[in-house]
Structure 1
Amino acid sequence: MTGERPIGEDDLQAFVDGRLPPSRREAVKAYLADHPAAAAQVERETEQREALRARLSFKAREPIPSRLRIANLMADRQRSSRIRPAAIAAALAWLAVGGILGGWGGVWWASRSQRQAEAMSVADNAIAAHRIYVSERLHPVEVPADQEAHLVQWLSRRVGKPLTAPNLNAQGYRLIGGRLLPDSGAAAAQFMYENTGGNRLTLYARSGGNETQTSFRFEEQDEVSAFSWIDRGLSYVVSAKADRSQLLTIAETIYQQFEAASDPAKGRL
């Protein structure tokens, strides 16, 4: 909007916290409507913040003990010129519940920013690798699909965690192979798939991240769509020239296959 400063990270934080004035809130809503990736991030962070509040809400719902109610404290004061320090401290502790929530939110936001930067770095690297190799016709992969067992074992050893090449035949994509890639000093694996129309899809995986599991994060860069997530200490990114709903179905299929492969009852990781 003319005359208004650009929407920044502070605006998005205030939007999640519900602290924006009405005019600025409308500006942020308009910005999010034009930036789907930012809107998806804000939606996820709002859900996480609400989850944090829900975990702490039990304390706010507890009734204030009668000895700490203002009327009773005032009555005690009239009876005595001195109020016990312990009672004052307890009353202040109840009033500070809201402040604690806000303080924890600030810590949460700082750690969120670091996690978000790490996730974006992995996704950017995965999309860049996707662009480079999907257009390669002679050597799109290092190890072809007819050596799948060797490919999975090799990449698992280099990445440092057990990997699986998902079966996407039902989604119209067949595995054509994979390769080893560098990512910020670490090893990353790329599995490549192709459909009958020649459109290629890649699954990128690397070890790392401070979280054991996250929800899907969507972004789009120059017609390449990507969903990224973390599961059991592995960062995954699935990329393709596909619309969001189609790629989400594929991402969910991959996730479900990984969950089935990690079922202890099946004796696999």
Structure 2
Amino acid sequence: MSHNDHDPAVPKPPDPEALSAFVDRELPDEADAVVLEHLARDPQAAAQVAAWRAQKAALKALCGAPLAHEPSFIVLRAPVPWWRRAGLAACWLVAGAGLALVLGPLAPRLSGGLIGHDPMGLAQRADIAYAVYTPEQRHPVEVAASEEQHLITWLSKRLNRPLSVPSLQEYGYSLVGGRLLPGEAGPAAQFMYENPTGSRLTLYVTGIPDDETAFRLFRDGNRRTFYWVSDHMGYALSGPISEGKLRTMAIDVCSALGGKPESWQ
């Protein structure tokens, strides 16, 4: 097979137009799911999506444009609707150098580079992984909870860091299992939990070069992710439950993993 041939058994990576339509919420559900699955495997494509998200947030901050969905995006592509061109032109005229200052740090990402050491990138990758794997019924995890010790040993070895799986039993969630995922610059782990009604939560874990102690919330539709960094490890708890309940659970998880969330409240 020549390098120009495409193996039909391997899904074709989405092109820039498909990614653009994805961030604008213009894809049908089936195509949307395909892009989500690709983003979970392709850190560079995920970085591009994250950069567009940050670009929209910067424009909103400068121009006060209303957002119908959070997070939502402005993606500069052809053809661009006249109202978007006009809005962007007005923003540039008003914001000028201010926009350049906001978007300047994003230049490496917009040119296709990987996400920098940004905790928001951690939350976005965790959210994408949640959206891709929690709908799975037959293969939601690589290693089931029945092999929990093997799961912990395997993922600890791959992340080169002793890991533990916090219990969420007091909230009605049991461990389903876990899997290995690509992170920003190395491997990441995802642990999945499920309650008796079938609702699922995930805990995403990966190494982080920085040691920023942060506790923040990321939203995408009805999904919420609380994420934090502690002792050079990034954690993100994701699920479609109320913000208050997820925050309480995230604080307990943080404490169980040796963090000090009381200093962030």
TM-score, normalized by length of structure 2?
0.55
1:7 to 1:148, Cα distance in 2 relative to 1, 3 A: closer
Q: Output the amino acid matched with 2:231.
A: R
CA distance in 2 between counterparts of 1:117 and 1:158 reads 20
CA distance in 2 between counterparts of 1:176 and 1:10 reads 40
Structure 1 residue ranges (4+ consecutive) displaced by more than 4 angstroms after TM superposition: 6-12, 34-37, 114-117
Q: Output the amino acid matched with 1:133.
A: Y
Give the match for residue 144 of structure 1. 144
1:117 to 1:159, Cα distance in 2 relative to 1, 3 A: closer
**SS of residue matched to 1:252:** helix
Contact 2:224–2:243 (CA under 8 A) maintained in structure 1? yes
Contact 1:7–1:31 (CA under 8 A) maintained in structure 2? no
The number of residue pairs the alignment matches comes to 169
Give the match for residue 230 of structure 2. 231
Confirm whether residue 253 of structure 1 aligns to residue 252 of structure 2.
yes
Give, in angstroms, the shift of residue 11 of structure 1.
9.2
1:187 to 1:194, Cα distance in 2 relative to 1, 3 A: same
**SS of residue matched to 1:259:** coil
Give, in angstroms, the shift of residue 209 of structure 1.
3.2
Give the match for residue 132 of structure 2. 132
Give the match for residue 167 of structure 1. 167
**SS of residue matched to 2:118:** helix
Q: Identity of counterpart residues, as a percentage? A: 36
CA distance in 1 between counterparts of 2:144 and 2:151 reads 8
Matches within 5 A, 1:61-210: 118-210=118-210
TM-score, normalized by length of structure 1?
0.55
Deviations 1:230-262 (Å, cap 9, x if unpaired)? Answer: 0110011110011110100110110111128xx
CA distance in 1 between counterparts of 2:251 and 2:60 reads 32
Give the match for residue 20 of structure 2. none
Deviations 1:183-232 (Å, cap 9, x if unpaired)? Answer: 2341000000000110000000000131x242211011021110010011
Give the match for residue 241 of structure 2. 242
Q: Which has the larger radius of gyration?
A: 1
Give the match for residue 263 of structure 1. none
**Which runs of 5 or more structure 1 residues have no equivalent in the other structure?**
1-5, 13-23, 38-105, 261-269
CA distance in 1 between counterparts of 2:165 and 2:59 reads 40
Higher relative contact order (CA 8 A, sep 6+): 2
Q: Output the amino acid matched with 2:177.
A: G
State the Cα RMSD in Å.
3.3
Q: Output the amino acid matched with 1:174.
A: S
**Which runs of 5 or more structure 2 residues have no equivalent in the other structure?**
1-54, 72-100, 110-114, 260-265
